[in-house]
Amino acid sequence: MKLSQKRPRRDHTAFFMVLPLYVFTLIFVFFPLLYILGMSFLKKDVLWGVTNELTLDNYRMLFDPVYLKTFFDSLKLAFATTAITTLVGYPFGYFMGKLPPKRRGGLMLLVVVPFWTNALVRIYGWMIILRTKGVLNGLLLGLGVIDRPVKILYTYGAVLIGMVYSLLPFMILPVYSSVEKMDWSLVEASRDLGANAAEAFFTVTLKLTLPGVLSGFVLVFVPSIGLFFLSDLLGGGKIMLVGNLIKNQLLEARNWPFGAALSVVMMAMTLLIIGLYRKVTHSKDLEGFF
Amino acid sequence: MAMAGSGKHRLHLSSLFLALVILFMYLPVVMVVIYSFNNSKSDVVWAGFTLDWYAKLLHNTSLMDALLNSLILAVCSCAVSAVIGTVGAVGIVRCDLRTKGLLENASMLPIMIPEIILGMVFLAFFSLLGLPFGMVTLILAHTTFCIPYIFIVVKGRLSGIDRSIGEAARDLGASEARMFFDITLPLIMPAVASGTLLAFAMSLDDVVISFFVTGAQTNTLPIKIYSQIKLGVSPEINALCTLMLGGTFLLILVSRRIGAVKRTGKRRSAPRGEGDL
């Protein structure tokens, strides 16, 4: 065939086109990750940096109750965030997908705009609202619900609000994308066969939109472990995430190998979650994103 | 239909729900805008309309420097990643290297793994290389996470393109380069533009990675904002944030306009990707 004759030459050009990407990925993604992996097995130098001595101490340190607690708290917050964003984001994505196409576009724009705006700006908005002398307390005082300002900012609740708020679009968009693609005739068929609305929803709709929900889980859960600035700003540095721990180890405690070990564990967790997602949905890409 | 009555009722409730969530999403944004015009330093009470904070902002050279740094950073890293990402996507669709799948996965890593890991990895790696922390390290780091956004959007668009158009051009004697510039590039241009815009927004928005790779002398805008709001209230930040919001809205409007023109110009351009983000 003509096409197969041309293959070798085309491959040649294609190879040179991929080359920059190859080299860049190798130097700035592959090597650094490998370096961190290696570093996590090295002994910390007295001041900072590493020695050449091999050790498993950095991983052993992870089982120190203090750090275990941080891991546990961070995971708890991540689960809570994922649960709430699902409870709010699923119906949102679902209803949005059922709107007439014209209104859908407008709503999509409304959801996406905050996504494009600076995360810090939005967090700052929450700080204005939640501060002890802030808008929410002012409102509650004015309404007579409370008679003394309540401390909301710099609490666990504030961090949770910020997390849910920041990550909600990452649940809405994939759910919406799978609802939009859904074949509604299947739901109708199940209704015709005698299923009631709830049965139809749980046996058909939920199953068909599951890739969207799972993709949302990944997109919410993974970043929620690392958003250290969020817990810094809304939690006042009292709520420690794994992200804060890594940051502290690097910039304050100057224990790079331990920071590296933390990163390796977090990275392994992330890859595990993405791997599970791919296995369950048999799809390579995250639904609704790319 | 049998459920028409209840369906209508449900639509009402669902609209209310959608409206409430949208309100939740916009509440903090609206607050920032309102308080940027408030004539008082302690935010709660409304003390009249003022533009003072905007005037003060203009004279705040450290904030303006940070803004300039952020723009330089975003433009440089987007320019480099647009080239690497686009050319790479075109190449990877056409080649059948054995390591293709691996490369694709590896090049997506920077936006798959939590930002903080990327930040820490860069911090360690750049100090290993002995690079001075500042604009150079920032550009390298930002380019790394900008490439995947452009790569993925362009690749998505390429899969929707009829390959026989290119084959036809080749059969008619066009060179590789000519085929790329005359056929492929015009077809994928909307995707390149929207991918780059996305990367641009991500670069301007990034706190976590910049936090690790910036030097003591170089502040990007998000880092500056971060350190300021950590210290406490500063209405100038409100004003700055309002301006940034305005800029973002403008950018989105313009990109929508371009998208709309493209979409009506060609019957159906990208079915996904552009609309999603």
For residue A85, the chain B residue with the least C-alpha distance is: B21
Q: What are chain A's domains? A: 63-281 (1.10.3720.10)
pLDDT number for residue B22: 93
For residue B17, the chain A residue with the least C-alpha distance is: A92
* Average confidence (pLDDT) per 10 residues, chain B, 277 residues: 47 86 91 85 73 86 90 95 93 78 82 87 91 93 93 86 78 82 86 88 89 88 87 79 83 72 43 38
Helix, strand and coil content of chain A, in percent to the nearest 5, comes to: 75, 5, 20
Residue B231 belongs to a domain: yes
- Is A202 near chain B, with CB under 8 Å? no
CA angle B126, B132, B134 (to 5 degrees): 95
CA distance B87 to chain A (A): 6
Arithmetic mean of pLDDT, A246-258: 86
Query: How far is the first Cα of chain B from the last one, in angstroms, to the nearest whole number?
Result: 36
For residue A18, the chain B residue with the least C-alpha distance is: B88
Alpha helices in A99-134 (DSSP H): 101-116, 119-130
pLDDT number for residue A5: 45
d(CA B107, CA A290): 14
Q: Is the dihedral of CA A97, A98, A99, A101 positive or negative?
A: positive
CATH of residue B132: 1.10.3720.10
pLDDT number for residue B233: 64
pLDDT class of A151 with cuts at 50, 70, 90: confident
Residue B166 belongs to a domain: yes
For residue B129, the chain A residue with the least C-alpha distance is: A32
- Is A128 near chain B, with CB under 8 Å? yes
Residue B106 belongs to a domain: yes
Q: Who wins on pLDDT, B10 or A146?
A: A146
Residue B112 belongs to a domain: yes
Residue B109 belongs to a domain: yes
Residue appearing with tokens 């079915």: B271
- Test A3 with B91 for CB contact under 8 angstroms: no
- Is A182 near chain B, with CB under 8 Å? no
ipTM: 0.82
Arithmetic mean of pLDDT, A80-103: 92
Chain B residues close to A229, C-beta within 8 Å = 207-208, 211, 226
- Using CB atoms, which residue from A21, A232, A260 is nearest to B88? A21
pLDDT number for residue B9: 55
The yes-or-no verdict on residue A84 having pLDDT over 90 is yes
Model confidence pTM above 0.80: yes
Look up the domain containing B160 and give its range: 61-237+248-265
**DSSP per-residue letters across A54-107:** E-SHHHHHTTSHHHHHHHHHHHHHHHHHHHHHHHHHHHHHHHHHHS-HHHHHHH
Residue B88 belongs to a domain: yes
pLDDT number for residue A102: 83
pLDDT number for residue A185: 84
* pLDDT tens digits, one per residue of A182-220: 888 888 888 888 888 888 888 888 888 888 999 899 889
Strand partners, B49: B38
Domain count, chain B: 1
Output the six-digit token pair for B125: 């790696």
Residue appearing with tokens 């990550």: A167
> Residue A252, SS3?
coil
Cβ proximity of A51 and B132 under 8 Å:
no
pLDDT number for residue A76: 92
| Cβ within 8 Å of residue B59, ≥6 positions away | none
Residue B31 belongs to a domain: no
Chain B residues close to A168, C-beta within 8 Å = 21, 25
Chain B residues close to A110, C-beta within 8 Å = 22, 25-26
Residue B8 belongs to a domain: no
* Average model confidence (pLDDT) across chain A: 85
